[in-house]
Copies of this chain bind each other. A is one copy, B any other.
Amino acid sequence: MQALSQESAVREISDGSIISPKGYKSAGVHAGLRYSKKDVGAIISTVPANSAAVYTTSLFQAAPLKVTQESLAAGGVLQAVIVNSACANACTGQQGYKDALEMRKLAAGKFGLEECSVAVASTGVIGEYLQMEKIHAGIAALEPKNGAESAEDFQTAILTTDTVMKSCAYEADIDGVPIRMGGAAKGSGMIHPNMATMLGFVTTDACISQSVLQKALKEVTNSTFNQITVDGDTSTNDMVLVMANGLAGNQPLSPEHPEWDVFLGLLGSCCENLAKQIAKDGEGATKLIEAEVAGAVSDQEGAAAAKQIVGSNLVKTAVYGADANWGRIIGALGQSNISLDPENVDIWIGPICMLKNSEPQAFSEEEANAYLQKENIKISVDLHNGKGRGKAWGCDLSYDYVKINASYRT
A321 to B57, CA, bound (A): 28
Q: In chain B, what residue has the closest Cβ to A284? A: B402
**Pair B234/A335 contact, Cβ less than 8 Å:** yes
A298 within 8 A of B: no
Fill in one digit per residue for A325-342: 1 if any B CB lies within 8 Å of its CB, else 0. Answer: 111101111111010101
A125 within 8 A of B: yes
A192 within 8 A of B: yes
**Pair A397/B408 contact, Cβ less than 8 Å:** no
**Pair B320/A402 contact, Cβ less than 8 Å:** yes
A348 within 8 A of B: no
Q: In chain B, what residue has the closest Cβ to A124? A: B327
A264 within 8 A of B: no
A373 within 8 A of B: no
**Pair B402/A402 contact, Cβ less than 8 Å:** yes
**Pair A313/B405 contact, Cβ less than 8 Å:** yes
A409 to B192, CA, bound (A): 28
Contact of A327 among B127, B326, B338 (CB under 8 A): B127
**Pair B93/A358 contact, Cβ less than 8 Å:** yes
**Pair B317/A402 contact, Cβ less than 8 Å:** yes
Residues in B whose Cβ lies below 8 Å from that of A318:
405-406, 408
A residues 280-294 with Cβ under 8 Å of B?
A: none
Taking residues whose C-beta sits less than 8 angstroms from the other chain, chain A's interface range is 35 or more
Fill in one digit per residue for A354-369: 1 if any B CB lies within 8 Å of its CB, else 0. Answer: 1100111000000000
**Pair B323/A408 contact, Cβ less than 8 Å:** yes
A91 within 8 A of B: yes
A366 to B319, CA, bound (A): 38
A210 within 8 A of B: no
Residues in B whose Cβ lies below 8 Å from that of A355:
91, 127
**Pair B407/A323 contact, Cβ less than 8 Å:** yes
Residues in B whose Cβ lies below 8 Å from that of A399:
399, 402-403
Fill in one digit per residue for A298-321: 1 if any B CB lies within 8 Å of its CB, else 0. Answer: 000000000000011110011011
A residues 14-72 with Cβ under 8 Å of B?
A: 56-61
Of the A-B pairs whose beta carbons lie under 8 Å apart in the complex, a sample of 20, sorted by A's number, is A56-B334, A58-B331, A59-B333, A59-B342, A60-B334, A90-B327, A91-B360, A92-B360, A125-B327, A126-B330, A126-B331, A127-B326, A127-B330, A127-B354, A233-B312, A233-B328, A236-B330, A313-B313, A323-B410, A399-B399
Binding site for B on A (CB under 8 A): 56-61, 88, 90-93, 125-129, 189-190, 192, 194, 231-236, 311-314, 317-318, 320-321, 323, 325-328, 330-336, 338, 340, 342-343, 354-355, 358-360, 397-399, 401-403, 405-410
Minimum-distance CB pairs A-B, first 9: A126-B327, A321-B406, A58-B334, A317-B405, A234-B335, A60-B334, A231-B313, A59-B334, A93-B359
20 additional contacts, CB 8 Å, given A233-B312, A402-B402?
A58-B335, A59-B340, A60-B330, A60-B334, A88-B327, A91-B330, A92-B360, A126-B328, A127-B326, A129-B360, A190-B331, A232-B313, A234-B335, A313-B405, A317-B405, A318-B405, A320-B406, A323-B406, A323-B410, A397-B405
